Amino acid sequence: MRIMVFDVPASSGGALSILNEFYRDVTEHKNKNIEWIFVISEPFLEEKENIKVLRFPWIKKSWGHRYYFDNIISPKLVKEYNIDKIVSLQNVTIPKVNCEQILYVHQALPFIDYKFSFKENKVFWIYQNIIGKQIIKSIEKSSKVIVQTQWMKNACVKKTGINTNRLKVIPPNINLEIKDLFEYNSISRASFFYPAGAVEYKNHSLIVEAVKKLKDIGIESLKVTFTLNGDETPFIKLLFEEVKKYNLPIEFIGSIERKKVFEYYSKSILIFPSYVETFGLPLLEAKQTGSIIFASDTEFSREILKDYNNVYYFNPFDVIELYNLLLKSSNGEVFYNLVNPTTSFSSQKTILKEILEH
């Protein structure tokens, strides 16, 4: 059998993690009679005896290059290699082909209630109104659809009306032994951590505004850490300048290793104001360490943190709610429940297992 895996958008962040995890599972799989062909853009994947890698970095040059690749080159590759099954990790199916397609959907923008205007953010508007329609059509055409959360499954069914049996929920894996558990003390209750990229809906600005209000009333003992450099986008540059201008206790440390991220979970409170996520991996990671979590009151947060005793929810569009939580925590007024966190987490199912069983 020949299976072609498409993931040309993946080059960083969560999308790249999904690609790398799937590739690792394929390399470790015992059945070497399956011939795998990975179609990607910039990342490097090593070829193996039964794994071929086709790289097309020029796809990243523009939307036009991506459109040409998706509609002209992709179908040709499927026919050229006489493919039996397609696995698309990129939210949309491959057009003009007749073989079976399994689709992995991890783009939440077309399914959230919040609607971006074209003036507010052109890219997000395109994802919601143009690419979103392609995603919905792809879901309808696929023989099986894999999502990360139950809320995404429900949203897909609501948008498309497809049978729920065609949708499978497979959460991301955390294949890491957790050694450092959260310790509640005077330092950790005034230390806050947000590991997130530079996308606007990650909502760093809400944290900056809340900290600014705390400084206005003389509260400067807290410390917030962002995993940003401060120069990723024009929007982040403005936030960085605002932090410097008002001398706010917010540190930009840049990207850090995953093990270092877990060290921060053990000695600080996770703030998660993002309002667009399919899963929100830091929520699960912090939960595994027993950390206190200040989470946006969203469907994905509620699902991941269901029955967790150390979560406090806030409206991601209301700075006063976050301000009050930060103030209470800094004053030692946020209650901490002792928990017995799980020191490792692994989903019983993987994308690969689901694909091969289908």
List pLDDT tens digits, range 46-88: 999 999 999 999 999 998 999 999 999 999 999 999 999 999 9
Look at residue 45 in the predicted model and tell me its pLDDT: 95
C-alpha 15, offset from chain centre: 7
Report whether 52 contacts 138 (CB < 8 A): no
Cα of first residue to Cα of last residue in the chain, in angstroms, is: 13
Tens digits of residue pLDDT in 278-293: 889 899 999 989 999 9
- Helix or strand (DSSP H, E) at 6: strand 2-7
Q: Which residues pair with 144 in a beta bridge?
A: 102
- Give the span between the Cα atoms of 358 and 349, in whole angstroms: 13
- Give the span between the Cα atoms of 306 and 296, in whole angstroms: 13
The CA-CA-CA angle for residues 193, 198, 202, to 5°, reads: 65
Both tokens assigned to 97: 């082909």
Look at residue 167 in the predicted model and tell me its pLDDT: 94
Q: Which residues have a Cβ under 8 Å from the Cβ of 328 and sit 6 or more positions away?
A: 334
Look at residue 352 in the predicted model and tell me its pLDDT: 85
- Give the span between the Cα atoms of 214 and 82, in whole angstroms: 62
Which stretches within 298-350 are classed as H helix?
A: 299-304, 319-330
- Helix or strand (DSSP H, E) at 158: helix 150-160
Buried/exposed 242-262: b ≥16 CB within 10 Å, e otherwise: ebeeeebbbebeeeeeeeebb
Ramachandran area for residue 43 (φ above 0: left; ψ -120 to 50: alpha; else beta): beta
Look at residue 27 in the predicted model and tell me its pLDDT: 92
Give the burial class of 102: count Cβ atoms within 10 A of its Cβ; 0-12 exposed, 13-18 middle, 19 or more buried: buried
Report whether 246 contacts 175 (CB < 8 A): no
The pTM assigned to this predicted structure is 0.85
Look at residue 343 in the predicted model and tell me its pLDDT: 47
Q: What is the mean pLDDT of each run of 10 residues along the chain (358 residues)?
A: 95 83 90 92 93 95 93 96 96 94 94 89 90 94 94 94 92 74 92 94 96 92 95 94 96 91 94 93 91 96 93 97 95 84 56 79
Look at residue 344 in the predicted model and tell me its pLDDT: 47
- Helix or strand (DSSP H, E) at 225: strand 223-226
Look at residue 239 in the predicted model and tell me its pLDDT: 96
The residue among 298, 306, 258 whose CA lies nearest residue 282 is: 258
Domains of the chain in start order, with CATH, are 2-173+347-357 (3.40.50.2000), 188-330 (3.40.50.2000)
- Give the span between the Cα atoms of 291 and 336, in whole angstroms: 9
Both tokens assigned to 309: 């005793």
Report whether 145 contacts 154 (CB < 8 A): no
